[in-house]
Structure 1
């Protein structure tokens, strides 16, 4: 076991807090919903990039290559100045949603080069405009402002450690300090130990407060002469009175002035530690000697060993580097996300129990939500907030390097502090009540299979716990998005973002309502995923047999509703061989009213989802004769409506062709490598099925690695044979 894997194990067992520190700062906190306190909900206009250097944030912090503890109390990031820009470079710049050609867009070059899952080693590249020399480099340490909003009764302290020598050391203390009339003497919470930032080379230390510069922004006196942009004022504008001469505050920077010759480089060394400075100055200097270099080399070597262990041996050096940097980007994408929706709404004057309450601009029905966790972000600048369905896909990559973190991400979205009491999974902070594709069951079983393949054992307890919460979400979909109760679903934009012909989340301009082919297909996939989870739990003696029947039956009725065989108003168009949304509009006021229906002939790649299907394999049918018997009964009941979708796997489907795009990949080397591998294909043998668009995850025992393809009599389909089981797609396009 390599060193990084050992750290992951110790973190999982609670023996060490290896994940307490990491790249948990956002890259953009301004312009977010959380920081928006405007009357009209104009988040981009209310808190701008220009204000960010002077205005204290309410719900989080941002920075260049930012690092913080897991609750984002103590933060560290890089600040730069090239002696020419009008402001200190403390955060990335980009265009707002209304300024960019396609929405918000960062306008800087930066790269995530490396990171281990515990962040024992990280590497980041930022391309600063090289137009002037020398450079001012200011590694900055600060506390997130929690005291101005009454969340913290004591104000933390950053101060210079007084020493006889010229060494530069900053102490970060969480200790009693009076704030707004509060009594002193409050004991710091356990774990908030004093930490020390050691700066090599004895740079000048600049101190100010992480407080809003009200005079610059609002034209009123600030609470303190030393404000958030004090270091900017000192370095860029030469205002010596902008920093605290007593060298104390809640924000501090180590001011290096560096001249870099052409083709050369300069290295700045800093060390954040809970070890107090030694009495002798010689020992302080030794902290940046051989021991510092040895530690960096050791962490780099351990990172190499970790990625070598998870990289497929068949990869070339270049491909392995691409994989490593891609995964490093996922590691850098972690962010501490804080959002107390109830308090935020209360601060907007929308107390749900007030007699004359205001209606909130957004998220008014989500008072139960309290988010304060490390979450994987789609993009820490463009999307510095989680999107639940994006997260489900991100989990697959995260599981490759840190299965525990991947499973935790799915757990978060299913917790009572996230999931709505009615069972809806939150979408994203702009509108938690929006509807995203239901992919969390897919991510759950996929994650389970990946861990099973790597270690030889899946986490059944986690699978069972997730299954129970997913049942709540599935029920929400059935109760809220099946308007007519006939197993066809709506759902709004469902991940199409701004590429749809019209906004499916808004009422139709022509009136009526929309039955969505992709929404219905997503629910068919949801049924398949839940059926597989239930089957796996039944095979592990963890219950689930009855749920196999439930979701099998539900899948068949949904598939039947999509076909509408012989009905001109159904989603399936026999001539085009394609599924379409159907628009319904009512005419007249009588009962029953006259309803007209028409297909919306819009095609896009997402429509391929409707072509996926599933079946139980032979081993499962023999192990559970009761479900198999009921499946046969269900087949007889709906056979007249969708006979082509209910065939034993050995029967050919004459006159139909299938979507088939095999993607064969091997799981990275691991303890379970000799026992299992992963194959992605739409026709595979084995145990429970997972259908995802035109791909299926399969765990194949070693003895089944030798395969043969058998061509069926009609010559139109290929069946992947192995032993006595096979799986084929149930839907396809008719061939003339």
Structure 2
């Protein structure tokens, strides 16, 4: 998924913000505006829309106002803050399409809905789940993401085939490691020089030493600093697929349209008895929501009880 930065927030926007059960006046509550627009059971085509404000995201206001309200009061939502006044926000459409089982197309379409020119940092990210830091036997091997001379990223993992991450337009590649910053979290020094917050610290805080100058690690981002005129649209395209593709974007548009058409054909078949177009759209987005929201719980009880050898208290 991509991280976003409007130049105003104190952190990158790379995950949804919400209130915990104790913070929300009606329990847990995501305070974002996003729409899961499309998906297929095979995930051959997926699409979502996220609305990102151009002003600083009102994190504190949302926490404080919801804390002030009782369970008898309505919830205080993101729209209630006025952050979208004058349409000063970006629409960020994200699409995924499979060219093959191990060949993924990624397209971001960014639209400036505001009345003035606005800048946005777009950072598609790729990382490995951290399985190496816990001290379990047989899991010491660390995968790698590494920049190559031809402007791509080589993806190396013992359980995967040889993959390359391609990015159109020659973005700057940023690398760190998907390790917890133990000094920041626990006050405990670490032998690791780069941490999972490195890309955030580089972009937002200007910490040049937060990313790896050797351009390798277990977490990477393609940095696209965009400037969009009022009403303008820009696209970012990436591809995660087999190594050695000479022109990875030559068939990109054709493949994306093909997967969209296949998604349309799938839903046309299962919705043939629903005459109303609005009802079909509601059902399609409902299915998309379920497919986007699938979760996997790695529920290994003995391992959880024992904890990792290198587990922090």
- Shorter-chain TM-score bucket reads 0.7 to 0.9
Equivalent of residue 17 in structure 2, options 89, 93, 105: 93
Q: Which residue of 1 aligns with 2:122?
A: 137
Which structure has the higher relative contact order (CA within 8 Å, separation 6+)? 2
Q: Which residue of 2 aligns with 1:158?
A: 145
Q: Which residue of 1 aligns with 2:301?
A: 341
The answer as to 2:230 corresponding to 1:246 is no
Alignment of 1:554-565 (within 5 A): none
Check the 8 A contact 1:171/1:196 in 2, yes or no.
yes
Alpha-carbon distance in 1 for matches of 2:128, 2:154: 12
The answer as to 2:184 corresponding to 1:211 is no
Alpha-carbon distance in 2 for matches of 1:347, 1:171: 32
Higher helix share: 1
Determine helix, strand or coil for the equivalent of 1:128: strand
- Please list the CA deviations of residues 147-198 of structure 1 after superposition, one character each: whole Å capped at 9, or x if unmatched: 01134121111101222xxxx3111102xxxxxxxxxxxxx34xx2121110
Determine helix, strand or coil for the equivalent of 1:296: helix
Report the TM-score when normalising by structure 1: 0.33
Q: Which residue of 1 aligns with 2:188?
A: 220
Check the 8 A contact 1:212/1:222 in 2, yes or no.
no
Equivalent of residue 172 in structure 1, options 132, 149, 155: 155
Check the 8 A contact 2:2/2:125 in 1, yes or no.
yes
Alpha-carbon distance in 2 for matches of 1:317, 1:89: 34
RMSD over aligned Cα atoms: 1.7
Provide structure 1 residue ranges, at least 5 long, that are not aligned to the other structure: 1-76, 175-187, 349-736
- Please list the CA deviations of residues 202-231 of structure 1 after superposition, one character each: whole Å capped at 9, or x if unmatched: 000000011111121222222212111000
Provide structure 2 residue ranges, at least 5 long, that are not aligned to the other structure: 56-87, 89-117, 309-313
- Please list the CA deviations of residues 580-602 of structure 1 after superposition, one character each: whole Å capped at 9, or x if unmatched: xxxxxxxxxxxxxxxxxxxxxxx
Check the 8 A contact 2:176/2:216 in 1, yes or no.
yes
Determine helix, strand or coil for the equivalent of 1:339: coil
Greater CA radius of gyration, 1 or 2? 1
Alignment of 1:560-599 (within 5 A): none
Query: How many pairs are equivalent?
Result: 246
Check the 8 A contact 2:152/2:165 in 1, yes or no.
yes
Report the TM-score when normalising by structure 2: 0.75
Q: Which residue of 2 aligns with 1:109?
A: 33
Q: Which residue of 2 aligns with 1:269?
A: 237
The Cα of 1:102 is off from its aligned counterpart by: 1.5
Q: Which residue of 1 aligns with 2:249?
A: 288
The answer as to 2:281 corresponding to 1:321 is yes
Alpha-carbon distance in 2 for matches of 1:137, 1:333: 23
Alpha-carbon distance in 2 for matches of 1:119, 1:334: 11
